[in-house]
Chain A
Amino acid sequence: MVKGHQSFIFESKPVILASATSAGPFEAQGPLAEDIDLIHDDIYLGQDSFEKAEKLMLEGAAVKTMEKAGINKYDVGLFISGDLMNQIISSSFTARTIGIPYLGIFGACSSSVEGLSIAAAYVDGQKVKYVLTGASSHNSSAEKQFRYPNEYGAQKPPTAQWTVTGAGACLLSTQGNGPKVTGATIGRIVDMGISDPFNMGAAMAPAAVDTIEAHFRDMEIEPDYYDIIVTGDLGSIGHKITLDKLIENGMRISEKIYKDCGMMIYDSEKQQVFAGGSGCACSAITVYGHFLNRMRRGEIKKMLAVATGALHSPLSYQQKESIPCIAHAVAIEM
């Protein structure tokens, strides 16, 4: 049901039956390692390219999710997935392997929440019994595609972010036990003219602000309705900008309940990740893994997950275009 201008309420409350995550060795050194199901100690995963490694991680997360829920892949009606690679090859090649009817999406780093909201809409509206959704990113394949060769010695500024190597998947169902997706807010493109791909936090923060404000306006609720509001991969700079901007715009939001996945996934003191983590897997691992686990343990009752994405390409950057950004939000309640 449409609520307000850009939000939707899922009346049947699709249930997240199970979720699983996978990650590389660098993420395993971070504070969220306990919430990662499959940890790989080789960034190649024994493959001969980073792209194949990323596909394998997404595959692993998807299969592990179905295994956790005890659902056979032939019963899953739809697989929705996105990643950062050109022509979303990681998602499509995973779909080739698992053989579930597939919708590929591209929302850059917002793919995790975009997929979750589309999946919830299919479960709620079309009564598809099981829908699988996933997202993945790989530090090395993203660097290779968007920036420079991995071993190239370019000095990164303090505003840069570290793309997370990993993947996450969620299985939604019409019934069962678990956290429920109650609503979603689909973001609009916000472009504040920032064109520096080493400053994603500042580029994406206005999109997060726009979607968070739209969510509370449409749903007619106050920020303290949620136990936690978490953004996808703004990093420490984007987090600060978002918080300050929300307060400046008159929203009463407490620093205690507003977190960012990019600041949680790595230990910023021990690991050199500049402003924090980024990439589809950043929000996928933190939201699908860490936060859903905490909801299942009863530590959090209501969560608003807002994943942000920078929708530029290496080509648009070279042609001096600024970075169009987007943020999608889903409300998950226990």
Chain B
Amino acid sequence: MASNKNNKLNLEQQKYQSFAQKREPRRPLLSNCLKAFISGGAICVFGQLLHFMYIKYFSFTENNAGDPTAATLIIISVLLTGFGVYDTIAQWAGAGSAVPITGFANTISSAAIEHRSEGYVLGVGGNMFKIAGPVIVYGVFSAFVVSIIKMLVNYMGGI
């Protein structure tokens, strides 16, 4: 419970929450960070290997090998989600499996699978971006703001 929330609570509630907090196991922050570092790093190393493979064997260049690499990672992530493995991995990996592109693919595919029972339009179509939607909205918006700033800086003579 964040301390800034406490000012809305009355004394009895505050007392209870500190009473309860003493009996709650804490999130294992350090080991979670370590696991996220290992698993997230492993995904990135695997991606890098794919990148090299596409350059070496499929005559992609340094500039465009990123596209098939991302596509391969997405396909693997979607398959693991469909087979019901990704959420098990994520319980161990935490942010390590959520932050790379595989996590983004998991949010969309898991929502699509979940809402299949409500039909293709209202179910799959309507809910597919339930978790990924906000990321896209604020991602695009912040890219827009940053590009305006960059444009202004360039216009004024640049750095």
Q: Which A residues fall within an 8 A CB radius of B?
A: 48-51, 144, 148-159, 191-196, 199, 202, 205-206, 237, 240-241, 244-245, 272
Contact = CB atoms under 8 A, between A and B. Distances in A.
Nearest to A205: B20
B23 A244 contact: yes
B114 interface: yes
B117 A152 contact: no
Contacts, number: 104
B104 to A, nearest CB: 11
B103 to A, nearest CB: 7
B25 A149 contact: no
Given A144-B114, A149-B111, A151-B113, A158 B131 contact: no
A244 B22 CA distance: 11
Contacts of B20: 192, 194, 202, 205, 237, 241
B16 A155 contact: no
30 contacts: A48-B117, A49-B117, A149-B114, A149-B115, A150-B113, A151-B82, A151-B84, A151-B109, A151-B114, A152-B87, A152-B107, A153-B89, A153-B93, A155-B91, A155-B95, A156-B91, A158-B24, A158-B26, A158-B28, A193-B5, A193-B8, A194-B1, A194-B17, A202-B21, A202-B23, A202-B24, A206-B16, A241-B20, A245-B19, A272-B91
A52 to B, nearest CB: 8
Contacts of B107: 152
Contacts of B98: 153-155
A151 B27 contact: no
Closest 9 CB pairs of A and B: A153-B90, A49-B117, A149-B114, A151-B110, A193-B13, A149-B110, A152-B110, A202-B20, A155-B94
B69 interface: no
Interface string B16-58: 1101110111111000100000000000000000000000000
Specify the main secondary structure of chain B where it touches its partner.
helix
Interface string B97-132: 110000100110111011101000000000000110
Interface in B55-74: none
Specify the main secondary structure of chain A where it touches its partner.
loop
Contacts of B1: 194, 196
B25 A158 contact: yes
B159 interface: no
A238 to B, nearest CB: 9
A153 B97 contact: yes
B156 interface: no
A113 B125 CA distance: 40
A144 B111 CA distance: 9
Q: Name the residue in A152, A193, A194, A241 with the highest tally of chain B Cβ atoms < 10 Å from its Cβ.
A: A152
A154 B89 CA distance: 10
Interface string B138-153: 0000000000000000
B4 to A, nearest CB: 12
B131 A155 contact: no
A21 to B, nearest CB: 25
B115 to A, nearest CB: 8
